[in-house]
């Protein structure tokens, strides 16, 4: 029983990171209606920025955090301007391929600048862990889940209460109509990307604090899981991204922990199999709404 609960908590730990990344995915998708495959790579760049500013520039920790978020947000802004904006009228799949190109680009730039070898952080956020009845839960997980809740609530408030937020909502519903209402589409989507990438920056900080490592492929590796999480939760839904991420983390922990003998070699496959079964049962994800086409 204790092992089961521990494994469940491991799943939550891992899932919280997927959720954090999926949040950015889903938010950008919700407004701009595009799968930003390069989201994970923005996190990777953010993590490198953090690494450089901590270990090489030796800046004070809060400054490094700020720098990481600013660099990520700027990167998101620039990428959107250069690579996605010209494709505003293109099909989603064309944008998807371009995003994959951007993802390759960022990976290979990182490879050239930082080399292929993984960089390890010196511990910069020492939080220890909480012990409950022989099960230890790392504090960082609380920080991650807490941050996520704050971000979620913040985003909801931002979208519902501010003028820019309402504009974003309008753009997500109907671009043409929003434009007729005098909303600047390009500016709104730019802001969406800035916020999404700033979230990537925050994810980079928490990811680095948890795993203390970064390499050029960090982003693409967990990016695919985060993508799965975002879709599984119901793409475009912020709470969905969170639940989806956590559930995928739990599937993984369970398949890692409880597959007998040789089957453990295929634990990845079993986790994906659970995902498929769930989606066959619920074809639009957990929180996804079925869009009924008006005939």
Partner 1 sequence: MKKITATKLVSLVLLAFLLLPLFAACSNAEDKNMIIIGGIGPLTGEASTYGVSVKQGAEIAIKEINDAGGVNGIKLKLYFEDDQADGSKAISAYETLMDKGMQILMGAVTSGSSVALNDYVKKDKILQVTPSASQIEAAENPTTFRICFIDPFQGQEMAKYIYNTLGYTKAAIIFNQDDSYSTGMKDAFKDQWAELEGTISAEVSFGKSTTDFGAQMTQIANSDAEFLFMPIYAEKAAQIVLEADKKEVDLPLFGGDGLDGILTYLKGENAKLVEGMTYLTPFIASDEDEAVQSFVSKYEAAYKEKPDQFAADGYDAIYVIAAALKEANVTQPKELDVDALVAAMKKIEVDGLTGKMTFDDDGEPNKPAKFAKIVDGKYVAQ
Partner 2 sequence: MKNDIVKSEKKSNITGSSLLIRILVVVGIYALVSALMLTGNMSRSWESLSIRICFNVILALSLNLVVGFLGELSLGHAGFYAVGAYAGSMFAVYTDFPMFVRIIGAVLVGALSAGIAGFLISSSILKLKGDYLAIVTLAFGEIIRSFVKILPGTGGTAGLSGIPAFPSRYVGFTFAYAFVILTLIILKCFINSRHGRAVTAIRDNVISAEMLGININRYKVTVFVIASVLAGVAGVIFSFFKTMIEPNDFSYNLSIEILVMVVIGGMGNLTGSIIAAGVIVVVPELLRALEDYRMLMYAIVLIAVMLINESPKKAQFIERYSPKVLLKKLLRKGEKKSESA
176 interacts with partner 2 by CB under 8 A:
no
Site string for partner 1, 225-244 (x = CB under 8 A): x-------------------
| Beta carbon nearer to partner 2, 109 or 212 | 109
Q: Which stretch binds partner 2 (CB under 8 A): 43-51, 119-127, 206-214, 282-290?
A: 282-290
CB 58, min distance to partner 1, A: 14
Least distance to partner 2, CB of residue 178, Å: 22
Q: Interface with partner 2 includes 285 (CB under 8 A)?
A: yes
With CB under 5 to 8 Å by kind, the binding choice for 256 among partner 1, partner 2, none is partner 1
- Of these, 204, 232, 237, 243, which contacts partner 2 (CB under 8 A)? 232
Cα separation, 133 vs 82, in Å, equals 53
Residue 130 lies near partner 1 (rule: CB under 8 A):
no
Closer residue to partner 1, CB minimum distance, 64 or 190: 64
Phi, psi of 117 (to 5 degrees): -75, 140
Please identify which residue in 62, 89, 123, 182 interacts with partner 2, judged by CB under 8 A: 89
CB-based contacts of 169-174 (< 8 A; 24+ apart in sequence)? 169/31, 171/31, 171/32, 172/30, 172/31, 172/32, 172/33, 172/236
Crossing angle of helices 185-211 and 139-161, in 10° steps, is: 170
Q: Name the residues that contact partner 1, by CB under 8 A.
A: 2-3, 6-7, 9-11, 13-14, 17, 108, 111, 115-118, 120, 122-123, 129, 136, 138, 211-213, 215, 217-218, 221-222, 224-225, 249, 252-254, 256-257, 261, 264-268
Q: Name the residues that contact partner 2, by CB under 8 A.
A: 35, 83, 86-87, 89-91, 93-94, 97-98, 100-102, 104-105, 107-109, 111-112, 224, 227-228, 231-232, 235, 262-263, 265-270, 272-273, 275-276, 279-280, 283-285, 288, 293, 295
């Amino acid at each position: 029983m204790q092992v089961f609960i521990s494994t469940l908590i491991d799943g939550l730990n891992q899932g919280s990171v997927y959720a954090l990344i999926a949040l950015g995915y889903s938010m950008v998708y919700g407004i701009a209606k595009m799968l930003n495959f390069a989201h994970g790579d923005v996190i990777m760049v953010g993590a490198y920025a953090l690494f450089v500013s901590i270990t090489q520039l030796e800046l004070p920790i809060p400054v490094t955090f700020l720098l990481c978020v600013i660099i990520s947000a700027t990167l998101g802004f620039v990428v959107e301007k250069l690579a996605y904006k010209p494709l505003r009228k293109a099909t989603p799949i064309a944008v998807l391929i371009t995003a994959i190109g951007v993802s390759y680009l960022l990976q290979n730039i990182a490879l050239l600048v930082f080399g292929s070898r993984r960089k390890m952080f010196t511990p910069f956020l020492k939080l220890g862990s909480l012990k409950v009845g022989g099960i230890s839960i790392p504090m960082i997980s609380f920080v991650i889940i807490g941050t996520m809740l704050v971000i979620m609530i913040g985003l909801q408030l931002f979208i519902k209460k501010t003028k820019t937020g309402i504009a974003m909502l309008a753009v997500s519903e109907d671009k043409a109509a929003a434009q007729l209402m005098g909303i600047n589409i390009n500016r709104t989507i730019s802001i969406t990307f800035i916020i999404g990438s700033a979230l990537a920056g925050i994810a980079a900080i928490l990811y680095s604090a948890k795993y203390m490592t970064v390499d050029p492929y960090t982003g693409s590796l967990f990016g695919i899981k985060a993508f799965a999480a975002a879709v599984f939760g119901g793409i475009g839904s912020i709470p969905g991204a969170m639940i989806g991420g956590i559930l995928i983390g739990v599937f993984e922990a369970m398949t890692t922990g409880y597959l007998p003998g040789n089957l453990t070699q295929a634990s990845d496959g079993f986790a994906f199999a659970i995902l498929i079964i769930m989606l066959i049962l619920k074809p639009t994800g957990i929180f996804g709404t079925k869009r009924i086409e008006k005939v």
